[in-house]
Structure 1
């Protein structure tokens, strides 16, 4: 799988916290505080302007994830960061164990059923209370397939770039 140069969206700044320049983060890593392991961060604003930062520290206190940026010293500077997206190079993640993978590595793979019918490509995955769900998009059509192996997701072949599913194309 080609991960060279890819950047992964792992969180965003949601606002200021306190008076000394701390910010609140929304982290999409598991566990939430793992976001601090993957640095440097690329911060992207709403206009698409990016800058790289390193040395961000933080904590998860159970209610929220908070962070300290080296160049942010007060609440006004922290508040100005609201809405920044946090991206990291895919190469910052440790390699998955044999037989394991990151969800993000499935994105863009072709999805076909057992009969060879194309469902498009993997758009993304998301968690629900019962099971995870793979979203395949083909033009304007979107299919949500329970990520249950091997019942519905029968094979993942990274070399061929294909996820094979046992799913009715009409569903």
Structure 2
């Protein structure tokens, strides 16, 4: 499903919870409960975009469970399993200087301090210790290798220029 460029994915519905239409959601927000701050969702499922309204939600153990408006039984809730949860980027809070949302980093060209192009950030991976940039080769990169580069601001990632769509990293191209 191609998402609207003015939206970003903040979670995914994983399964039903109970018999009254509640759903378990895997939240990509930090903290996990942050997904509950966005009442207007767009669900992307099987090539369709479905508007949804968050009625209530809470942490349940390690999971987030929610009740969406108009979904009040388990069978109906099951039809939404697997949907991506998207919100308008305009609803996201502004971040402090030097912090970025993942979607802002995706697509940036990555250069070494020697001005060698390594490729573009395709996506990021959360590893627990630190996030990792997945940098895929482009026509202008020094080779056709995919690289996994730790996202460590001020250590590995030296600068991010969103306007120029450019990131500079202190990274050996041989890795």
Could you state the TM-score of these two structures normalised by the residue count of structure 2? 0.87
1:24 is matched with 24
2:171 is matched with 167
2:110 is matched with 111
Q: 1:57 Cα deviation (Å)?
A: 1.9
1:10 is matched with 10
Q: Which has the higher contact order (CA 8 A, sep 6+)?
A: 1
1:22-61, aligned counterparts within 5 Å?
22-46=22-46, 48-61=47-60
Map Cα deviations across residues 113-132 of structure 1 (whole Å, 9 max, x no partner): 11111111111222223322
- In structure 2, C-alpha distance between the alignment counterparts of 1:128 and 1:5, rounded to whole Å: 26
1:84 equivalent in alignment to 2:77: no
Could you state the TM-score of these two structures normalised by the residue count of structure 1? 0.89
Q: Secondary structure at the match of 1:141?
A: coil
Judge conservation of contact 2:54–2:66 (CA < 8 Å) in 1. Answer: no
- In structure 2, C-alpha distance between the alignment counterparts of 1:113 and 1:155, rounded to whole Å: 10
Gaps of 5+ in 2: 139-143
- In structure 2, C-alpha distance between the alignment counterparts of 1:106 and 1:39, rounded to whole Å: 25
Map Cα deviations across residues 20-44 of structure 1 (whole Å, 9 max, x no partner): 1111111111111111212421111
Which 4+ stretches in 1 moved above 4 angstroms? Answer: none
Q: 1:5 Cα deviation (Å)?
A: 4.3
- In structure 2, C-alpha distance between the alignment counterparts of 1:67 and 1:159, rounded to whole Å: 37
1:129 is matched with 128
Q: CA RMSD in A?
A: 1.7
Q: 1:162 Cα deviation (Å)?
A: 0.6
Gaps of 5+ in 1: none
How many pairs align?
A: 167
